[in-house]
Amino acid sequence: MSRAHQQRSAHLTRRPHWHRPLAGFAALAAAMAGLTALNAPAATAGTAVRAASATTTATAAAVLVSTGKPASASSVEASGFEAGKAVDASATTRWASVEGVDPQWIRVDLGAAHTISRVKLDWEAAYGKAYRIQTSNDGTNWTDIYSTSTGNGATDDLTVTGTGRYVRVYATARGTAYGYSLFAFEVYGSPVSGGSDTTAPSTPGGLRATATTSTSVSLAWDAATDNVGVTGYDVYRGATHVAGVTGTSYTNTGLTASTSYGYTVRARDAAGNVSPAGNALSVTTQPASGSGPAVPFGGHSRPYAAGTLKPTGTQSTLDQKTVAYYNSWKSAFVRQNCGNGWYQIISPDADHPYVAEAQGYGMVIAATMAGADPDAKKIFDGLTKWMIDHPSAVNPDLLAAEQDTACRSVNGGDGATDGDMDVAYGLLLADKQWGSAGTYDYKALAIKHINAIKKDELNPSTHLLKLGDWSSSGDQYYYITRTSDWMVDHFRAFRTATGDAAWDTVRSAHQNQITNLQASYAPNTGLLPDFVVNTNTTPKPAPGQVLEDPNDGAYWWNACRTPWRIADDAVTSGDAKSLASARKINSWIKGKTGGDPNKIAIGYKLDGTQISSGSEAAYFAPFALAAMTDAGSQAWLDALWNKMLTTPIDTSSYFSASIQLQVMITASGNHWVP
């Protein structure tokens, strides 16, 4: 927000192909470290040592059961490196994950429960140093049957003991700076005999397309039922089995533009019983210039960090509740009041009808809801045009912070950091969703915006964000920063988009300030103040009113967003600092309220003293995301989620409603970092 806006709401980089290390070197490294197999016979597991071929001795009687079976993975580096390439019996194709992200996994569905006795992994140069072999009967609950923290690549031929329908490699530490890649993921064993369950699941109905692009179709369907329990679904394109999934959605990629495809889905249970096919669906992909979303809402193609909680309930229910709230938010706040092809997010609770913060929220929300809302791209483009046509008077590559009822920029027309951060992030989301070859070059606009933030909204000496582009060296605000602007996942996205390592420095500076402020000024609560002063010497909470309110140094109408912003990074990156900061806040608020969200007040001093009574979504909703980071907070998370569901949307407050919607997007598993 600008100085006068003083109210509460105030690429895929290719690496050279590595050759495998010589077997002698692999053997030497392996001979220096033990590999530990879990639940395996003592004679073969505890201290197995690799021979010159980098293998552990495996039993000879096992039968290969994984070839050609449905496989899936946590991520795929690019087209041609899908999970199925690791089980296709070819020595020249491979699965490859995205680079530089832990953990990653690949799993194979054997179709029915098997006794597993051997797993063989043929690594490309991008190998797993630490990984586990796991089995599951339902694709959700996993049992470790092997673990190592000293992997050295080449071939791992492992003797194991376990039972399950699904077998997974769950990798937690890379052996190189890149990702994980397997030429072969071979599972050996035999089907489990016996069993008395012969009842097939009910037929899954309601098969529908939720999004299309020129190369993909996103599907969803209604859950089936079973006398024991449905363990998964098989998706068929014509007569071809294209996927086995545990949820009720799937995105089929690698398709041809302007082509019709027919789909059916069957449900299955742990005993291997399969339902009849559900309703047939014919879907036509977009033309080559089509604009369907690449990451449709509800697709869940970007899994969160291991251990992240989600509210109790089926994934489809979580998605449906979020979409329902979005529809209410859209009806209340998305407007076309000014003509010119513009869309705006109305801000009835601000001192001007249109503020940059609201437009930034709208751009992020619209890009994220693509696939659930067929109007998402139209809305986003209208917001983009509004942004372009209302440039900051200080830096025209930024957005002017405030507009009046005549849709004209006012109060100097300068920029506000919070709005600009979300505008840039929203443009990056749009580039990933729809590409940048249409009306707007989203990627170019994003990079211009990011560079402008760096030039005029970032303090070059402290590496901390300023309040806006209007603050300059020598003024009283130059060494003041607002904690709700500290969007760590945005900094990561800016680094990826621009390749500018300065954003790593910026991210670290803000994370360090969060840690230091919690330790020095809120050791019992973890709460952050609205504003931090003296950033050039000893940063500390504002001693009183420095910009907006006498509570500028308290957890008030700006800082109430910080649990959301911190946790967004924690759940997507698994970063230790973000996790620790979110968990500290969560531990305090859960204890303060006794696990009752109705006791969350409006504002706190940093020592936890309540400022005002009442209940406001801007305060209670963000704590839900902090709860997602703590394994012991499932009941607390569920209580917060239910509080959101039972609290009617406040159509007079874009601020609270927009915050709750973005919290629900993350809580339902739909937040992702471009």
Gap between the terminal Cα atoms of the chain: 25
Residues 451, 397 contacting (CB under 8 angstroms): yes
DSSP code per residue over 221-237: -PPP--SS-EEEEEEEE
Distance CA 239, CA 536 (A): 66
Bridge partners (DSSP) listed for residue 120: 157, 186
Catalytic residue from among 402, 418, 485, 569: 418
Q: Which two tokens stand for residue 172?
A: 């937690």
To the query of whether residue 77 is one of the catalytic residues in this protein, the response is no
Cα–Cα–Cα angle for 456, 460, 466, rounded to 5 degrees:
50
Q: Which two tokens stand for residue 668?
A: 């339902």
**CA neighbor of 606 nearest in space, from 509, 533, 540, 655:** 540
**396 dihedral zone (left: phi>0; alpha: psi -120 to 50; beta):** alpha
Q: Are strands 155-174 and 143-148 parallel, antiparallel or unpaired?
A: unpaired
Q: Give the distance, in angstroms, between the CA of residue 549 and the centroid of all CA atoms in the same chain.
A: 34
Cite the beta strand spans of 17-103 per DSSP E: 63-64, 71-73, 95-96
Distance CA 79, CA 251 (A): 14
Catalytic residue from among 357, 456, 530, 575: 357
Residues 558, 571 contacting (CB under 8 angstroms): no
Q: Which two tokens stand for residue 542?
A: 């504002």
To the query of whether residue 357 is one of the catalytic residues in this protein, the response is yes
Q: How many residues does the chain have?
A: 674
Alpha carbon of 547 to those of 202, 239, 243, 426, 544: distances in Å? 61, 65, 55, 27, 9
Residues sharing a CB contact under 8 Å with residue 487, sequence separation 6 or more, in sequence order = 421, 422, 425, 565, 568
Q: Which two tokens stand for residue 421?
A: 């951060």
Residues 469, 414 contacting (CB under 8 angstroms): yes
Distance CA 440, CA 230 (A): 45
Q: Which two tokens stand for residue 280?
A: 């047939």
DSSP code per residue over 385-435: HHHHHSB-SS-TTSBBSEE-TTS-B-GGG-B-HHHHHHHHHHHHHHHHHH-
DSSP 8-state code for residue 134: E
Phi, psi of 577 (to 5 degrees): -65, -45
Within a 10 A sphere around the Cβ of 329, how many other Cβ atoms? 24
Alpha carbon of 550 to those of 8, 416, 526, 554: distances in Å? 12, 21, 21, 9
Within a 10 A sphere around the Cβ of 413, how many other Cβ atoms? 20
The catalytic residue positions are 357, 418
